[in-house]
Amino acid sequence: MTVKDHSALRAQLTLAAAGALDDADRMEIERHLAVCPACAAEFARWQRMGVAIRRMPKPLAPAGLVERTRALLVERQVREAEARSNFRGLALLLVFVWAMTFLAWPLGRQLAVGAASWFALDSARASLWVLAYTIFGSIAGTTAAVVLGLNRRQAARRAA
C-alpha cells in the first residue's frame, strides 16, 4: 500500500462511515482497514459520530398538527368543489346565452310572420314581443352572471 493510496483511502473514511460508498469503494476500504490500525481507529470515530447523530433528541410533530392539516385539506376540497360547481354554472349560462342569440332571429321572424297571426297581432306588436323576450333573456343572463361572480368572490375571501 503506497502513501498515496493510504491518504486517498483515509479521505474516504467519512463517507464510508456514513454508508455512502458504492460496493467497489466500500470493499477497498474494508481491505485497507484490516491492515491499517490508524485508519481503523479513525473509521471507528466517524462511525461513532454517525451513531450519535442518529441518537440525537428527535422532535415530534406537536399534538393537533395532523388534525389542523386535515382540516385545511378538507377546506381546500370544499373550495375546489365550489369552484367546479361555479364553473359548470358559468358554462351552462354561456351555452344558454349563445343558444338564445342564435335562436333569436329565427324565433323573431317566426313570431312576426307566422305566430303573430295566432294572437291576432300586427307585425309591429310582434316585434315588441321579440324585444321583450330579448330583454328578459338578457336580464336573466346578467343576473345569473352577477350571482356567480358574487359566489366566486365570497369563496376567494374565505380562501384568503
Q: What's the closest the beta carbon of residue 26 comes to other proteins, in angstroms?
A: 5
Q: 55 to 74, contacts with other proteins by CB under 8 A?
A: 55-62, 65-66, 68-70, 72-74
Report the alpha-carbon distance of residue 129 to residue 13 in Å, rounded.
Answer: 93
- Judged by CB under 8 A, which stretch of 54-62, 120-128, 129-137, 139-147 contacts other proteins? 54-62
| Identity of the residue numbered 82 | E
143 binds other proteins (CB under 8 A): no
Alpha carbon dihedral 83, 84, 85, 89, in 10-degree steps, equals: 100
8 A C-beta contact, residue 79 and residue 154: no
Instruction: Take residue 106 and report the three cell numbers written for it.
Output: 329565427
Tell me the backbone φ, ψ of residue 158, rounded to 5 degrees: -65, -40
10 binds other proteins (CB under 8 A): no
21 binds other proteins (CB under 8 A): yes
22 binds other proteins (CB under 8 A): yes
Among 1, 8, 30, 153, binds other proteins (CB under 8 A): 30
| Identity of the residue numbered 149 | G
Report the alpha-carbon distance of residue 135 to residue 75 in Å, rounded.
Answer: 40
* 23-35 helix and 37-54 helix, angle to the nearest 10 degrees: 120
Interacting residues of 9 by C-beta distance below 8 A, sequence separation 6+: 28, 29, 32, 39
92 binds other proteins (CB under 8 A): no
Among 28, 46, 125, 127, binds other proteins (CB under 8 A): 46
37 binds other proteins (CB under 8 A): no
Q: What's the closest the beta carbon of residue 69 comes to other proteins, in angstroms?
A: 5
Residues in touch with other proteins (CB under 8 A): 14-23, 26, 29-30, 33, 41, 44-46, 48-50, 52-62, 65-66, 68-70, 72-74, 76-77
